Amino acid sequence: MRDPGLWDYCKNKKLCLNHIHWDGGLRPEDLFAWYNADVSQDRPPLVWPENDVRGNPLPQAGQPFKDVEELRGFMHGLLVKQGFGEVFKVSLQTLQDADDMREMALAHCRYLADHNITFAETRFAPWYHTDGEMSMQYAIGAAINAFGEAREETGVEVRPIVCINRELDGEDACLVVEAARPYANELAGIDLACIENDRPPWMFRGAFMLAKTYGLRRTVHAGEMCDEQTNLDNIYQALEQLDANGISHARPLYKKTVDGFDLVEHMIKNQVRLESNPRSNERTFGQDIAELHLDKLVEWGVLVTVNPDDPMLWPDGDTVHNLYALGVLYDKEFVDQMVANSYAAAWTGR
Ligand SMILES: [Zn+2]
């Protein structure tokens, strides 16, 4: 049973987001409308993929999604029923030229406004936005312009983060950073994202050092998808070898040390923020939110923020669901702390 008082308390909070993905943050309503808006524009069909996440053929393969609810259900099936690539393809196809980016930046900012978000570091991987005519550099510029226009209309400020999709090799990762370089003053920073297994942070040291040279802040998806020891090693590498200013997920960070290195002490000393995504971890990896020990991390002095990650991929993925889960686990003061931290940790460039 939901506590309506606590729910409303969380729902009415105005805050910043340090960690949300553009492609995982577009509402199925907006995606469905885009695909069905104007057939004369030669948009790709919105159809069921060939196979499920295990590679088994889907009976609905090639058939159009009947309605928004069917699409919503499909998106909620990420990694349980549907593959990573298939789910993200639905939103990535809507972000392949400047006009579409404009439409989807507006849709995203309207969603944020509806959820009391005043500022967000929305991320996207430019490599995935070059299926049409756009180069990576053009895509980054188009996204910045699109969010600038959306701000005029919604009042919500988005300062994007450019992600390196970690299936790239070190050289291609440097190309992503080079594409971001002309926009160093308008971007919140650079991130390392996507499937973490077998792609440890050290592989991207060159790209991250380049980003540092160009004055770009650095955050890393680390300690999310692997076994505990590898997760800890990846957090260590992100901090020590990529000189990260932010770490996301870091599920076993409460263990505090790895091989004698004090991760928490390093984060506090170097003012590295933790972008936590509790509901995402719970839904994707069966992580017990209590076992993230965010209370302990806050007590130790880590700058912890709470984020939705990919809010459209779970039925309870919005920011309010994350805040509420922490409110139930701890108390309203902890919720207040998360809200205050979201402002303190925001890379607004001001
Ligand atoms: Zn993420």
Rounded distance from Cα 277 to ligand 1 centre (Å):
8
pLDDT tens digits, residue range 257-303? Answer: 999 999 999 999 999 999 999 999 999 999 999 999 999 999 999 99
Segment 196-220 shows an average pLDDT of 98
Are 58 and 205 in a shared domain? no
Q: Which of 30-44, 51-65, 168-182, 309-323 has the lowest mean pLDDT?
A: 30-44
Residue 40 CB contacts under 8 Å (≥ 6 apart), including other chains:
none
**Prediction pTM value:** 0.96
Q: What is the pLDDT of residue 97?
A: 95
Pick the closest to residue 183 from 220, 136, 222, 225 (CA basis): 136
Rounded distance from Cα 229 to ligand 1 centre (Å):
20
Q: What is the CATH number of the domain that holds 226?
A: 3.20.20.140
Are 135 and 252 in a shared domain? yes
Number of domains within the chain: 2
DSSP string of 17-28, one letter each residue = EEEEESTTSS-H
Domain boundary among 93, 108, 130: 93
Are 16 and 32 in a shared domain? no
CA 176 to CA 162: how far, in whole Å?
A: 8
Are 188 and 42 in a shared domain? no
Q: In degrees, to the nearest 5, what angle opens at C-alpha 193 toward C-alphas 200 and 19?
A: 130
258, part of any domain: yes
Segment 5-19 shows an average pLDDT of 98
Q: What is the pLDDT of residue 245?
A: 98
58, part of any domain: yes
109, part of any domain: no
Are 46 and 87 in a shared domain? yes
Rounded distance from Cα 50 to ligand 1 centre (Å):
26
Rounded distance from Cα 8 to ligand 1 centre (Å):
26
Rounded distance from Cα 21 to ligand 1 centre (Å):
6
Rounded distance from Cα 42 to ligand 1 centre (Å):
31
104, part of any domain: no
Rounded distance from Cα 39 to ligand 1 centre (Å):
32
DSSP 162: E
CA 177 to CA 212: how far, in whole Å?
A: 10
Are 224 and 80 in a shared domain? no
144, part of any domain: yes
Are 83 and 125 in a shared domain? no
Pairing of strands 273-276, 257-258: unpaired
Beta strands in 146-212 (DSSP E): 157-158, 161-165, 189-193
Rounded distance from Cα 23 to ligand 1 centre (Å):
11
102, part of any domain: no
Q: What is the pLDDT of residue 39?
A: 64
Three-class secondary structure of residue 43 per DSSP: coil
190, part of any domain: yes
pLDDT, averaged across the chain: 96
349, part of any domain: no
Rounded distance from Cα 124 to ligand 1 centre (Å):
10
Three-class secondary structure of residue 109 per DSSP: helix
Rounded distance from Cα 38 to ligand 1 centre (Å):
31
Are 210 and 300 in a shared domain? yes
Q: What is the pLDDT of residue 79?
A: 83
Rounded distance from Cα 41 to ligand 1 centre (Å):
32
Residue 236 CB contacts under 8 Å (≥ 6 apart), including other chains:
258, 259, 261, 263
Rounded distance from Cα 276 to ligand 1 centre (Å):
9
DSSP string of 55-80, one letter each residue = SPBPTTTTPBP-SHHHHHHHHHTBTT
Are 56 and 201 in a shared domain? no
Are 121 and 62 in a shared domain? no
Indicate the residue type of 119.
F
Are 194 and 134 in a shared domain? yes
Pick the closest to residue 89 from 58, 143, 128 (CA basis): 128
pLDDT tens digits, residue range 34-68? Answer: 999 876 677 888 999 999 999 999 999 999 999 99
Rounded distance from Cα 19 to ligand 1 centre (Å):
6
Are 160 and 293 in a shared domain? yes
- For residue 73, the enclosing domain spans 27-93
